[in-house]
């Protein structure tokens, strides 16, 4: 069981003869209760699974719980080795085969369970089979729980994810809630009309600066790391940010910045007044001049 307060293991409080377990001295807070069988489920002869590890086939179950001031009793976890989740990808209203290199596209789902406390006790990340020309695909070994749409790899430059829905619910940057009784298709709509940003980084004297760290951060939905873009300015101070979904953003330019520090909300808020607001539209290229933030600021 993992949560913001820590991780707890049933340990010796588990009775293998009847499946009963007990966790004691759990501090109040929100958690995900998880159970994983010690052995993998058998794979039927001749059944092909793509990139599914043995851990993915281990029967497992997850359930969100909230501990307050009283005990929680009689929780039932139904172990399952996972099922197949069907999906379909289209682009600009056409079949996926209209996209050059379509056969390289692949979808992933990431469990929302925080693995920082127990990295060896997480179900493997489900990975989809390669799509067919009509865009249909399946993700094997999906067990009940909450997932985030992971990176859709293999997309060529200029293409972005415009929509993602499961059971008619928006799951683009939001949890995909999958349960044993779930039925439906993961619908992913791509667009070839991404925007771009090009520009120049300059110092206080408006001279082009090389090697500056340029970061594009969404104005809203800053938890969506898939919307972030980074680039380094060249010898003349020029930079380019490509394949940007339409929306409102801010462009930051640092003289130097530690990798991934731009995900720190406090740092971003601190320098927000020194960024450039930009509205990205479909198939358009914005040109901006970004004054760099010195290292000593």
Structural domain boundaries enclosing 264: 195-291
| Token pair belonging to 156 | 């060529």
Q: What is the pLDDT of residue 9?
A: 59
How many domains in the chain? 3
pLDDT band with cut points at 50, 70 and 90 for residue 182: low
Asked if the model's pLDDT at residue 296 lies above 80, the reply is no
Q: Are residues 214 and 163 in the same domain?
A: no
Q: How far apart are CA 231 and CA 212, in angstroms?
A: 8
Q: Name the token pair of 25.
A: 């001295």
Domain of residue 284, CATH code: 2.60.40.10
Other C-beta atoms closer than 10 Å to the C-beta of 169 total 12
Higher pLDDT, 138 or 214: 214
Phi and psi angles of residue 96, each rounded to the nearest 5 degrees, phi first: -60, -30
Q: What is the mean pLDDT of residues 118-130?
A: 59
Q: How far apart are CA 21 and CA 26, in angstroms?
A: 14
Cβ neighbors of 180 (< 8 A, separation 6 or more) are: 78, 80, 83, 144
State whether 88 and 42 are in the same domain. no
| pLDDT tens digits along 191-201 | 999 999 999 99
Tell me whether residue 151 is in a domain: yes
Q: For residue range 87-116, list pLDDT tens digits in order.
A: 999 999 999 999 999 999 999 888 776 544
For position 65, what pLDDT does the model report? Answer: 83
Does residue 72 lie in a domain region? no
What's the confidence (pLDDT) of residue 1?
Answer: 53
Does residue 54 or residue 163 have the better pLDDT? 163
CB 86 within 8 A of CB 16: no
More confident residue, 270 or 113: 270
Q: What is the pLDDT of residue 255?
A: 96
Strands 285-291 and 195-202: parallel
Within-domain flag for 73:
no
Integer Cα distance of 138 and 88 in angstroms? 8
Q: What is the pLDDT of residue 293?
A: 97
Q: Are 267 and 250 in contact (CB under 8 A)?
A: no
Give how far Cα 247 sits from Cα of 168, 218, 230, 237, 251, Å: 22, 8, 16, 25, 13
The mean pLDDT value for 234-249 works out to 97
Q: Which of 242, 149, 220 is nearest to 189 (CA)?
A: 149
Query: Mapping DSSP to helix (H, G, I), strand (E, B) and coil, where does residue 271 land?
Result: helix
Tokens of 182: 């779930």
Average pLDDT (247-274) is 96
Q: Mean pLDDT, to the nearest integer, of 144-156?
A: 86
Q: Are residues 112 and 179 in the same domain?
A: yes
Which of 67, 99, 124 is where one domain is finished?
67
Say if strands 83-91 and 136-142 run parallel, antiparallel, or are unpaired.
antiparallel
On average, the pLDDT of the chain sits at 84
Mean pLDDT on 121-132: 68
Task: Say if residue 62 is in the same domain as residue 110.
Answer: no
Does residue 31 carry a pLDDT above 90?
no
- pLDDT band per the 50, 70, 90 thresholds, residue 117: very low
pTM, two decimals, is 0.75
33 shares its domain with 130: no
pLDDT in the model for residue 295: 85
Q: Are residues 113 and 62 in the same domain?
A: no
């Amino acid at each position: 069981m993992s949560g913001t307060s820590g991780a707890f293991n049933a340990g010796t409080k588990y009775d293998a003869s009847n499946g009963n377990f007990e966790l004691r001295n759990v501090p109040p807070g929100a958690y995900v209760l998880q159970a994983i069988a010690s052995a993998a489920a058998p794979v039927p002869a001749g059944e092909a699974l793509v990139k599914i590890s043995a851990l993915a086939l281990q029967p497992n179950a997850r359930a969100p719980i909230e501990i307050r001031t009283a005990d929680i009793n009689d929780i039932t976890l139904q172990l399952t080795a996972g099922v197949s989740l069907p999906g379909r990808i289209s682009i600009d209203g056409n079949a996926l085969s209209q996209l050059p290199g379509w056969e390289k596209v692949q979808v992933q789902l990431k469990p929302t369970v925080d693995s920082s406390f127990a990295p060896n006790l997480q179900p493997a990340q489900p990975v989809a089979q390669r799509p067919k020309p009509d865009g249909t695909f399946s993700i094997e070994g999906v067990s009940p729980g909450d997932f985030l749409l992971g990176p859709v790899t293999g997309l060529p430059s200029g293409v972005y994810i415009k929509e993602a829905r499961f059971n008619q619910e928006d799951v683009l940057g939001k949890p995909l809630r999958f349960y044993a009784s779930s039925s439906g298709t993961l619908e992913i709509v791509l667009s070839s009309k991404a925007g771009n940003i090009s520009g120049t980084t300059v110092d206080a004297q408006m001279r082009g600066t090389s090697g500056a760290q340029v970061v594009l951060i969404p104005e809203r939905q800053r938890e969506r790391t898939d919307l972030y873009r980074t680039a380094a300015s060249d010898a003349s101070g020029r930079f380019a940010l490509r394949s940007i979904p339409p929306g409102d953003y801010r462009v930051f330019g640092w003289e130097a910045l530690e990798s991934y520090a731009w995900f720190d909300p406090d740092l971003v808020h601190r320098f927000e007044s020194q960024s450039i607001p930009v509205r990205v539209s479909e198939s358009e290229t914005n040109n901006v001049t970004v004054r760099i933030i010195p290292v000593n600021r």
